[in-house]
Each structure stands twice: as C-alpha cells, then as structure tokens.
Amino acid sequence: MSCPYCEVKITSSKKRRHSNLKTFLPIFIVLVLLLTSCNILTNNGTQVGTNTQSEVQALIPYRKGDKWGFCGRNKKMTILPVYDDARPFSEGLAAVELNKKWGYIDKKGNMVIKPVYDGGCNMVEPFIDGLARVELNGKWGYIDTKGNMVIQPIYSDACNIVGPFSEGLARVALNRKWGFIDTKGNMVIQPAYDFAGDFSEGLATVNLNEKGQGFKQDCGFIDTKGNMVIPPVYDDAGPFSEGLALVSPNNKYGYIDTKGNMVIKPVYDAAGSFSEDLAAVLINGKWGFIDTKGNVVIQPVYYDVYGRVGPFSEGLARVELNRKWGFINTKGNMVIQAVYDWTYSFSDGLARVKLNGKWGYIDTNGIQYWEN
C-alpha cells in the first residue's frame, strides 16, 4: 500500500510479522519522517493529489442583450440576467439596477439591499471598509452592508460627489463648502474649502479659491487634523501617490514630495498622479509616461484633449489612439487593442468598457463578457 498523502509505497507482509527490531526501527523512523514531511507540505497549502479544486469562482457582471447577470470565468451564468445594469462584487455585495434604482445583491443573487437609490452622474459605489456612499433624492449618505443608513444623506454638490472613506475620513460638501467626516458622521475637519480631494498618504488637497472647472487657485495640502502642512500656493494639485503629488505653478505641472520639495520640475502641460511607478504627462500635445525620477519611459504618442490617459492599474493603462481606447502595459506595448469608445481602469481584474454605445466588462486578457 501507499501513503495517502505522499504516495510513498509501504511494504507490509504477515510473513514478516516477527521481523527483528533492528530491521523495523529504521523503517519506522523513515515512515515517521515521510509522514511528517507530507503533513508539513499539506499544512503549507501545497496541493496534494488531484481532488483539490477551487471552491469559489469569480463572479463577473455579464450583459446579455440589454440585461445583466453574473457569470464565472468560463462565461457560465450563475446569476440570471434580469438587471438593467450591474457592477462588480465588493465585500460580498454587487450593485445592480432595476427600474432606474440601485440596490445590492449577494453572491447567490439575493437582493439584500433593496433598489431604492439613485445613480446620479453615473456614480454607483462599491463597499469599502463596510460602507458605500449612496444617493437618495439628490443627497448623499452612507450605508453599511446590511443596508442601514449609518450617515444620513444630507450632503450634495452637483457632480462633485462626496468622497469614499479613505484613511478613515471622507470629503463632503455642505453649503458649497468642503470638509471631512469620520465613519460615525462627525465633522472632524470643518467645511471651509472651495474644494477638497480624498486623503492619501496622510494628506489631502484643498482649494481656497476655486475659479471654476479646470482652473483652480490657492491649492495646498492638509493633514488628517486639518493642519495646512503644504501652503496653498499652487494653481492646481493632485493627491499624493507613491510619495509624490502633481502640482501646477504658473500653468505648468511638476511633482512635489510630502515635504513640499519640488522633485520633478514643472515642465509639463498637464499630468496625472503616479501609479505603479509611472505617471502620464502631456508633452507637446501628446501623452506619454515618466518614472519617479522624471525620465520618459513611454514616449508621448497618445492624444486625449481631456487628459484621461492612464493611470496604470494592475499593469495596464488606458490610452487613446484615433479616438478609440485600449490598454498598454508598462513597456508601452498595446496589449488590448484600441477599439473601445471609452474605458475605465482595471480593478480586481476587470475593466468596464463601452463598445458601439453599449457597456460591458473585459478582463486583463481582453476577453469580453457580454453578448449582444
């Protein structure tokens, strides 16, 4: 017979029942060591045998005609296509639309949070750390995974949507001024700013003198206590990422560190935040990517007047060629061809894309999860 774990053959015979101890002991010691080794491998997660299979498959939003359901990687439907729209699962729940209202289902397809929420500005939110921001009658609040409204919907500012919670705080607008609340709904940084960004690496952008969409003045950075740690001297600014934040003095963009030192000179016409050690920058009307030293690593050959190129996420970044969108890798190779009307960035292996006026999802291999 053989060891059921490591398939080592064990010899056994009744004729040798009375073997002497000198023969038995070495064999016994070897068997103990082998069994122990097999047990260690099993406890460390190494698959043994051929019967072990993954118990849970990813559930992917799948559009069939004009209705949405969910399928596995093999495109086999696991939740029937009965919804008007759908989003990926997050923390065990997925947002789905029925009759122009949004709710949340679990992985068995049960509607656990009734569809009563609006989807203004096409903003339907996943759960993050047990909370999701929702819109009700033009105001924004936060629900938990049971559907309880834990922070009442009292915040609004057109499509400058209240923030998700980041580092324990969320940006909100009251009377056209922005501040920050904690997860209990307490206003911990008073609404005194014309605009505010989400906290990242302990700092958030704030604007003391907004002149209008796309033209800002007096941007600086506060910490989680509300202290202004980098003075508001920039025309525009973005969040910190990988230790750097884009800023714009005198209509050109560069990057500062968390101390406010300019580490990449402001020479770009526009720029994006760093992600996976790369940032999109606009050079002579075309977009390319630089590294954290300011070296151009992907040549500026992409065009997008609205500055929506990138960022890199899961090794891929969206780019526009001939008014169509696709994805490049960190070497600059086009790995998903530019055939889409629009794309969002990848998250958890999926990107939402628009093709011929209809939405669907693709994975990082470019496989499309829909049928018309």
Residue 287 makes CB contacts below 8 A (sequence gap 6+) with: 280, 281, 300, 301, 302, 303, 304, 307, 309, 310, 319
Q: How far apart are CA 262 and CA 242, in angstroms?
A: 15
Q: What are the tens digits of pLDDT across the range 199-223?
A: 999 999 999 976 555 556 799 999 9
Residue 35's Cα: distance from chain center in Å? 43
Look at residue 99 and tell me whether its pLDDT is greater than 90: yes
Q: Mean pLDDT, the chain, as a whole number?
A: 84
At 138-147, the pLDDT tens digits run 889 999 999 9
Among the listed residues 95, 107, 167, the one whose alpha carbon sits nearest the alpha carbon of residue 135: 95
Band of the pLDDT at 304, cuts 50, 70, 90?
A: confident
Helix, strand or coil, per DSSP, at residue 225: coil
Q: DSSP 3-state assignment of 122? A: helix
pLDDT beyond 90 at 333: yes
**Measuring CA to CA, how many Å separate 154 from each of 150, 173, 191, 226, 369?**
12, 9, 14, 22, 37
Summarize the confidence of residues 99-107 as an average pLDDT: 97
Per-residue model confidence as pLDDT tens digits over 234-260: 999 999 999 999 999 989 999 999 999
d(C-alpha 185, C-alpha 131), whole Å: 12
- What contacts 142, CB < 8 A, 6 or more positions away? 131, 132, 133, 134, 149, 150, 151, 165, 170, 185
Q: What is the pLDDT at residue 338?
A: 97
Strands lying side by side in the sheet with 85-90? 85-90, 93-98, 101-105, 111-117
Q: Tell me the average pLDDT across 340-345.
A: 97
The CATH number of the structural domain formed by 81-162 is: 2.40.10
- pLDDT surpasses 70 at 53: no
Task: Decide if 170 contacts 181 (C-beta within 8 A).
Answer: yes
Contacts of 44 (CB under 8 A, 6+ apart): none
Confidence grade of residue 48 (pLDDT, cut at 50, 70, 90): very low
In angstroms, the CA 346 to CA 333 distance is 17
Paired tokens of 150: 């834990």
Evaluate if residue 54 carries a pLDDT over 50.
no
Lowest mean pLDDT among 8-12, 91-95, 286-290, 334-338: 8-12
Three-class secondary structure of residue 112 per DSSP: strand
* Res 55: pLDDT: 28
- Buried b / exposed e along 300-313 (16+ C-beta atoms within 10 A): bebebeeebbbbbb
Residues of the chain with CATH 2.40.10: 81-162
Q: What pLDDT does residue 156 have?
A: 80
pTM reported for the whole predicted model: 0.81
Instruction: State the pLDDT at residue 306.
Output: 80
Please report the pLDDT score of residue 158 as a whole number.
58
Q: What is the predicted pLDDT for the residue at 305?
A: 74
pLDDT at position 175 is 87
> Quick one: pLDDT at residue 217?
74
Mean pLDDT over 154-175 rounds to 85
pLDDT at 125: 85
pLDDT tens-digit readout, 2-31: 332 232 332 233 333 333 333 333 434 333
Amino acid (1-letter code) at residue 307: G
- DSSP designation for 306: T
State residue 253's pLDDT score: 98
State both tokens at 350. Answer: 């999926």
